[in-house]
């Protein structure tokens, strides 16, 4: 019950005047004390938020002063243990004072009552023991003070200037000399439980785990398997810390991207966790492009690299990634050792070959030409069933429908378009195919592939539209060797004869009507491009003049003609023009 000050004495009495000055002086003293108290923080102030530490637990980030104004009580409590009696002996129930303890003073008489219930103890993944730290520090002769971790300024803090313990406090003692709490060289497992063991944490809380800055490194995705932190320390000549991944990651974290997760001991060493699975379920996988893949010769080199160490490929590539091109005999053993895409997991990076030549009308297959733009480096859930592979436009029309079916795909598919052959390869592949056919058969089925063009006559799509009208210039220039696909006599000449351009029977005038002296000029034309002449003329046409047998005997031989050599190879031909065989 609150005592009341009473005003004693009638008005105007001397006693009443003396009491008035005394009262005024008393108020001044009280005011002064109050000012001093405020300065001392007893009545609270702008206290900094802090945490209460406890064995094995860390509270949510609640401001310390918001729950208890330590600075206000600085003169009342000479030690921390006065209220935090359970710290030294590890009694979690006695970590904080009870409401009854506070009521000893805050009884409503001496002090106002307070509603003290203690801080909320949230779940944590901290691995910490006060008794252990106290014992160990004592054993080392370096007694640790509470203010060392819980003071605003560490051990130098003013009494009862309390703040939440920071991870940097731990780093100051623990001997891994990490630069910062989340540094790559830190040993997270020293202070933190693996996420799979911090079962009290919710998925939402796990999602709030801070991401170390070094995870944002451009090389992180490519190097994390070898331990980016390890590389950092190795560069400094230091030993690698214990694995840290398990503090924040469960097995599903890796299975989100790794096709070969089940074959990786480091991944299988991580325990699975449903909460982590929930968090990563809808996250698309990320597949950075290694620098090696961007080399100009990667297409020719990747086979050897894969054969030497297929594990380098199996993280990102399933077997179906290779078989988008490799349906021949090449590389099948290596491909067989790659994992298959899981229906409930990522498909990895699917490669799609870009047609060697983009020409409308030459590709008679649906789905061709797709994916001309480079594929995204980030996986995405397919909005619709993705288009089929885009084989080279040269072949697809004759390949059969099975050549364009898509392999089975997982939930997330990352596609990347690969231009296997350079532009114009359809017209310049001869030497490459002749020398490196083993490489061709890695992707192309030799038993039918070459014949689809080189047997001629039935393979539209290689030549541009209406080539029958346009082909004269190309035939003269011999940009390509027509005889690699067509027989001159039965294909070229037959068509020319049928359409009236070929010579049949006696030579007639009037066809070469652009050259007035054609009879004298045709020799130059014939020497420069005899193949074109033979596409219209039979041998007898020329023998009318250039043969001694029934002709005019005009020699067609040039200065470099070796008659003896020609006769030694096939004298029968000589008899066509020479009586009695080749002249001596």
Partner 1 sequence: MVSCKRAKGSRPRRWGPRLVASGLVLLVGAASAAAQGVRVTGVTTSQYISIRPIVPDSIPAAEVPGTGELRRAADGTPVSCRAGDTYCRFYRSADRASTVPIIQDIDVNAWGFGQGVRFHAQLRGRHAFGSADGLWPRADDAFDALAVYLELDRDRFRLRGGRQWRASGLGFYNFDGASVLVRPIRGLSVDLYGGRGLTRGLNESRTGGALEAIEPLAPDDAAYLLGVEARWRPAPGAALGAVYQREIRTDRAGLYSERFALDGRAALSRATLTGSLQVDVALEEVNEALLRADAPLGRGLGASVEVRRYRPFFELWTIWGAFSPVGHREVLAGVNWRRGDLDLDLRGGWRQYDETGKGLSFAPLRDDGWRIMAAGAWRATPDWLFEAGYRADIGFGAARSEGDVGARRELGESGYVAFRALAFQRLYEFRVDDGVVLGAGADAGFRIGPELTVAGSLYAYRHRDGTGANAVDWTQLRGALRLLWAVGRDPGLRGVGGVR
Q: Among residue numbers 311 through 330, which ones bind partner 1 (CB under 8 A)?
A: 319-320, 322-328
404 binds partner 1 (CB under 8 A): yes
Rule CB under 8 A: is residue 10 a binding residue for partner 1?
A: no
Comparing CB distances to partner 1, the nearer of 43 and 518 is 518
Question: Roughly how many angstroms between the first and final C-alpha of the chain, as a whole number?
Answer: 149
* Interface with partner 1 in residues 24-83 (CB under 8 A): none
**Of the residues 88, 278, 474, 551, which one makes contact with partner 1 according to CB under 8 A:** 474
Measured from the CB of residue 471, what is the shortest distance to partner 1 in angstroms? 9
In angstroms, rounded to a whole number, what is the distance separating the alpha carbons of residues 164 and 189?
21
Is 473 one of the binding residues for partner 1 (CB under 8 A)? yes
Site stretch for partner 1 (CB under 8 A), options 241-249, 258-266, 309-317, 424-432:
424-432
Q: Is 234 left (phi over 0), alpha (psi -120 to 50) or beta?
A: alpha
Structure tokens at 498: 């049928």
Nearest approach, Cβ of residue 346 and partner 1 (Å): 18
Taking a C-beta distance cutoff of 8 angstroms, is the pair 433, 421 a contact?
Answer: no
Taking the complex as a whole, the smallest distance from the CB of residue 315 to partner 1 amounts, in Å, to: 20
Question: b vs e for 545-572, b when ≥16 Cβ sit within 10 Å of the residue's Cβ?
Answer: ebbbeeeeeeeeeeeeeeeeeebeeeee
Distances (CA, A) of 219 to 251, 263, 335, 535, 573: 21, 23, 27, 62, 71
Residues 524-563 that bind partner 1 (CB under 8 A): 524-532, 534, 538-540, 542-543, 546, 556-562
Beta-carbon contacts of residue 65 (< 8 Å; ≥ 6 apart):
44, 45, 46, 47, 48, 49, 50, 71, 162
**Does position 204 bind partner 1 by CB under 8 A?**
no
What is the total count of residues that contact partner 1 (CB under 8 A)?
Answer: 167
**Please, what is the minimum distance in Å from the beta carbon of residue 255 to partner 1?**
24
Which residue, 73 or 439, is less far from partner 1 as judged by CB? Answer: 439
CB of 223 to partner 1, least distance (A): 24
**Which residue number, 77 or 298, has a Cβ lying nearer to partner 1?**
298
User: 108 to 167, contacts with partner 1 by CB under 8 A?
Assistant: none
Is residue 296 a contact point for partner 1 (CB under 8 A)?
yes
As a whole number of angstroms, the distance between CA 222 and CA 570 comes to: 66
160: left (phi over 0), alpha (psi -120 to 50) or beta: left
Distance (Å, whole) CA 267 – CA 180: 26
Question: In angstroms, what CA-CA distances link 11 with 6, 14, 22, 27?
Answer: 14, 9, 16, 20
Q: Of 272 and 374, which has the nearer Cβ to partner 1?
A: 374
- Cα–Cα distance measured from residue 308 to residue 322, given in angstroms and rounded to the nearest whole number: 16
Cβ–Cβ under 8 Å, residues 317 and 259: yes
Q: Return the closest-CA partner of residue 315 out of 260, 362, 256, 359.
A: 260
Give residues 429-458 in contact with partner 1 (rule: CB under 8 A): 430-439, 443-451, 454-458
List 93, 216, 297, 344, residue binding partner 1 (CB under 8 A) = 297
Distance CA 31, CA 28 (A): 5
| Binding mask of the shown chain, residues 344 to 383, with x at each position contacting partner 1 by CB under 8 A | ---------x----xxxx-xxxxxxxx-xxx---------
Instruction: List the one residue from 152, 392, 415, 426 that touches partner 1 (CB under 8 A).
Output: 392
Which listed residue (344, 565, 579, 584) binds partner 1 by CB under 8 A? 565
Tell me whether residue 175 or residue 572 sits nearer to partner 1 (CB atom).
572
Q: Pick the closer one to partner 1 by CB: 89 or 478.
A: 478
Please identify, using beta-carbon distances, which residue of 240 and 404 lies nearer to partner 1: 404
Q: Which of 2, 100, 235, 469 binds partner 1 (CB under 8 A)?
A: 469
Residue 542 C-beta: closest distance to partner 1, Å: 7
User: Do 226 and 303 meet the contact criterion of CB atoms below 8 Å apart?
Assistant: no
Span near partner 1 by CB under 8 A; candidates 86-94, 189-197, 199-207, 462-470: 462-470
**Given 192, 395, 411, 416, the residue binding partner 1 (CB under 8 A):** 395
Rounded-to-integer distance, Cα 563 and Cα 584, Å? 9
The tokens of 269 are what? 């060493």
Within residues 249-268, the interface with partner 1 by CB under 8 A covers none
Q: Quick one: 87 or 350, whose CB is closer to partner 1?
A: 350
Nearer to partner 1, 11 or 509 (CB): 509
Q: Counting contacts by CB under 8 A, is residue 475 touching partner 1?
A: yes
Closest approach of partner 1 to the CB of residue 325, in Å: 5
> Between residue 500 and residue 529, which ones bind partner 1 under the rule CB under 8 A?
500-501, 504-505, 508-518, 520-521, 523-529
Task: Answer for the pair 550, 543: CB distance below 8 angstroms, yes or no.
Answer: yes
* 334 near partner 1, rule: CB under 8 A: no
**Buried residues in 50-84 as b, exposed as e (16+ CB within 10 A):** bbbbbbebbbeebebbebbbbbbbbeeeeebeebb
Work out how close the CB of 283 gets to partner 1 at its nearest, in angstroms, rounded to a whole number: 24
How would you classify the pairing of strands 53-54 and 57-58?
antiparallel
553 φψ region: left (φ > 0), alpha (ψ -120 to 50), beta (else): left
Task: Select 27 or 573, whichever has its Cβ closest to partner 1.
Answer: 573
């Amino acid at each position: 019950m609150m005592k009341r000050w009473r005003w004693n004495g009638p008005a105007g009495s001397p006693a009443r005047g003396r009491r008035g000055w005394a009262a005024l002086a008393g108020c001044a003293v009280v005011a002064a004390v109050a000012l001093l108290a405020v300065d001392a923080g007893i009545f609270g102030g702008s206290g900094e938020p802090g945490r209460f530490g406890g064995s094995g637990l860390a509270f949510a980030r609640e401001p310390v002063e918001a729950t208890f104004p330590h600075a206000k009580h600085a003169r009342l409590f000479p030690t921390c243990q006065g209220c935090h009696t359970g710290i030294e002996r590890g009694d979690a129930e006695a970590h904080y004072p009870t409401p009854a303890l506070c009521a000893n003073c805050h009884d409503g008489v001496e002090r106002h009552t307070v509603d003290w219930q203690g801080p909320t103890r949230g779940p944590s993944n901290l691995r910490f023991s006060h008794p252990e730290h106290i014992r160990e520090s004592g054993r080392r002769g370096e007694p640790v003070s509470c203010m060392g971790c819980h003071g605003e300024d560490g051990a130098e803090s003013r009494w009862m200037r309390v703040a939440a313990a920071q991870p940097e406090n731990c780093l100051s003692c623990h001997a891994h000399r990490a630069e910062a709490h989340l540094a790559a060289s830190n040993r997270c497992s020293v202070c933190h439980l693996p996420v799979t063991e911090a079962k009290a944490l919710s998925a939402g809380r796990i999602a709030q785990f801070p991401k170390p800055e070094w995870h944002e490194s451009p090389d992180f995705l490519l190097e994390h398997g070898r331990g980016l932190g390890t590389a950092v320390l190795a560069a400094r000549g230091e030993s690698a810390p214990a694995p840290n991944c398990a503090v924040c990651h469960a097995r599903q974290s890796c299975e989100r991207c790794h096709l070969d997760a089940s074959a990786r001991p480091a991944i299988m060493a991580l325990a699975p966790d449903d909460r982590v699975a929930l968090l990563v379920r809808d996250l698309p996988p990320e597949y950075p492009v290694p620098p090696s893949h961007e080399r100009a010769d990667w297409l020719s080199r990747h086979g050897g690299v894969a054969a030497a160490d297929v594990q380098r490929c199996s993280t990102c590539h399933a077997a179906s990634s290779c078989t988008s091109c490799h349906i021949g005999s090449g590389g099948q053993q290596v491909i067989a050792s790659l994992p298959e895409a899981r229906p409930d997991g990522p498909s990895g990076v699917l490669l799609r070959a870009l047609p060697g030549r983009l020409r409308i009308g030459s590709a008679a297959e649906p789905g061709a030409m797709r994916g001309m733009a480079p594929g995204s480096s980030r996986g995405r859930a397919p909005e619709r069933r993705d288009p089929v592979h885009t084989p080279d436009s040269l072949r697809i029309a004759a390949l059969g429908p099975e050549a364009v079916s898509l392999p089975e795909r997982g939930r997330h598919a990352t596609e990347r378009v690969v231009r296997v052959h350079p532009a114009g390869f359809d017209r310049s592949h001869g030497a490459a195919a002749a020398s490196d056919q083993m490489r061709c058969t890695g992707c192309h089925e030799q038993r039918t592939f070459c014949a689809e063009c080189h047997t001629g006559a039935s393979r539209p799509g290689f030549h541009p539209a209406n080539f029958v009208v346009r082909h004269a210039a190309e035939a003269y220039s011999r940009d390509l060797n027509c005889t690699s696909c067509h027989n001159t006599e039965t294909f070229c000449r037959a068509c020319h004869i049928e359409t009236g351009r070929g010579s049949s029977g006696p030579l007639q005038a009037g066809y070469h009507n652009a050259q007035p002296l054609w009879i004298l000029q045709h020799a130059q034309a014939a020497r420069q491009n005899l193949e074109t002449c033979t596409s219209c003329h039979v041998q007898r046409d020329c023998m009318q003049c250039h043969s001694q047998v029934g002709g005019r005997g005009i020699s067609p031989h040039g200065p470099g003609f070796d008659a003896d050599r020609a006769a030694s190879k096939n004298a029968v031909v000589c008899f066509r023009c020479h009586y009695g065989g080749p002249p001596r």
